[in-house]
Structure 1
């Protein structure tokens, strides 16, 4: 059972974060990352918004730490845990920009990058950044192809409908032979995009029944990751409920589970991580992580 942590502090969506996160900073974040790394969790996350309109912030939240700066710092504080963007908006970036900036992150982290990518839906932000909104789906598909051609390549080549490049050097570039690409979304088209052009699907805003229906219509290939959220977990206060939520995600087809933890402080959050790791190991029959 592989469980990734929906990192606290870095994203604060109304109703989905704890009060202690409002005054927490990099020290608390680093403490949690180090604990998650030591306990053998699969990944940490960081999402992307450049600027959220004030009217929208009441629903989506206003706090979004920059993924590159955040994950770069956490790379230096950890050793094994993967660092996942969840998600970058493809339309905001040239594929070579992602390949260079996040390829460098892959280098400094020793090959621990996971690129979670999405089409995006906040039209005001597209307009702010002066990038096309109406055909963002088609552009995202093309960008995924271009990004795959550029990542891990010193001299990439690509000739597509929106991006063309050749005879240039990208150095440093990702050290992984193939950086895992996860596509976020909540539609059949997002699953199609993920299966055809990426390595995993990260659905959101869907019930497990909805996810099962979509997966039944388009069976993913072997090795494809289904990254499902188990929701908010309280392994210390409600271990039985935690086990049930993990089991439900697994039955729904999860190959990797994303978890958020209820907590009253960073210290409590680390305690919750320890309890979740024990449940994970018991449920999967794994050997406990040394040093825990």
Structure 2
């Protein structure tokens, strides 16, 4: 079971510890370096351009591309997961160039996760079509797969088309993993047919329970190497309740997950880093010396 972190600081939603609101560059770097050293697979960053004030899901959203480009130079193994990019906001070639450059500079440490989006105010502000965002996203995923394939790329589809366009630099990985967010059966079908993994929201944000996740996955013939990400519906306390860590890992395995997106209880930066250390030890992650 691989484990990534649902990053603190980079997005503020709901009731969060006060230290996150006050944190800045130094704290973000310490979290990334700790996750890198302890053997965590990825760290996340959400994607919103601008949102209405008072939005329930929060108002602070670091830009994933700028954030990860900065942190790539501060880490060695940690992978970078925008969770999730709102696919209809971008042209596939735009993603291929910008995030492909990030993959190039980080020696192949990019994972891309996408959603079709649901905040209509943001679509309207950006001039992005809202009503056909589902089929538009499907075509964008096909176009993006072609655009990430190499230096000179072509694609022809109902929404996007390009012929012999040069993308240089481009992604270092031969196949950048494309994970699909969303909790619906439609999102899972999109992931199975067009992606490399399914990364639904946690149960607290309308995501499936572990039992429902298992039922949904059993209805599909999953491709080899297909990843499934489970975000536990609780903040784990590996320091004081290490036994619960083992229970959650076992639960994720029964649900069909291959990756856990971790959230932990914490009241300060020091406490957060202590929790990462404790979880890594219990879970047997591949920690390395500084």
Q: Same fold (TM over 0.5)?
A: yes
Show the counterpart of 2:238.
Answer: 235
Show the counterpart of 2:30.
Answer: 31
Matched, 1:267 2:264: no
Please provide the CA RMSD for this pair.
1.2
Whether the aligned pair in 2 keeps the contact of 1:157 and 1:167 (CA below 8 Å) is yes
Show the counterpart of 1:129.
Answer: 126
Whether the aligned pair in 2 keeps the contact of 1:18 and 1:262 (CA below 8 Å) is no
2:171 to 161, 171, 174: 174
Q: Equivalent residues in 2 for 1:1-292 (5 A)?
A: 1-15=1-15, 17-55=16-54, 57=55, 59-204=56-201, 205-230=207-232, 231-281=234-284, 289-291=287-289
Q: Counterparts of 2:236 and 2:10 in 1: how far apart (Å)?
A: 18
Whether the aligned pair in 1 keeps the contact of 2:39 and 2:288 (CA below 8 Å) is no
Q: Across the two proteins, how many residue pairs are aligned to each other?
A: 284
TM-score using structure 1 length: 0.94
Once the two structures are TM-superposed, the CA of residue 19 in structure 1 deviates from its matched residue by 2.2
Once the two structures are TM-superposed, the CA of residue 184 in structure 1 deviates from its matched residue by 0.2
Q: Counterparts of 1:199 and 1:175 in 2: how far apart (Å)?
A: 17
Q: Counterparts of 2:57 and 2:10 in 1: how far apart (Å)?
A: 13
Whether the aligned pair in 2 keeps the contact of 1:103 and 1:152 (CA below 8 Å) is no
CA-to-partner distance for each residue in 1:220-243, whole Å, 9 max, x for gaps? Answer: 122100011124111002212222
Whether the aligned pair in 2 keeps the contact of 1:235 and 1:275 (CA below 8 Å) is yes
Whether the aligned pair in 2 keeps the contact of 1:232 and 1:261 (CA below 8 Å) is yes
* 3-state SS in 2 of match to 1:235: coil
* 3-state SS in 2 of match to 1:220: coil
Once the two structures are TM-superposed, the CA of residue 11 in structure 1 deviates from its matched residue by 0.9
Q: Counterparts of 2:213 and 2:289 in 1: how far apart (Å)?
A: 37
Once the two structures are TM-superposed, the CA of residue 289 in structure 1 deviates from its matched residue by 2.7
Once the two structures are TM-superposed, the CA of residue 149 in structure 1 deviates from its matched residue by 0.2
Segments of structure 1 that go 5 or more residues without pairing to the other structure are none
Once the two structures are TM-superposed, the CA of residue 168 in structure 1 deviates from its matched residue by 2.1
* 3-state SS in 2 of match to 1:167: strand
Q: Counterparts of 1:171 and 1:244 in 2: how far apart (Å)?
A: 46
Q: Counterparts of 2:17 and 2:107 in 1: how far apart (Å)?
A: 32
* 3-state SS in 2 of match to 1:263: coil
Stretches of 4+ moved more than 3 A in 1? none
Whether the aligned pair in 2 keeps the contact of 1:90 and 1:120 (CA below 8 Å) is yes
Q: Counterparts of 1:63 and 1:217 in 2: how far apart (Å)?
A: 37
Once the two structures are TM-superposed, the CA of residue 246 in structure 1 deviates from its matched residue by 2.2
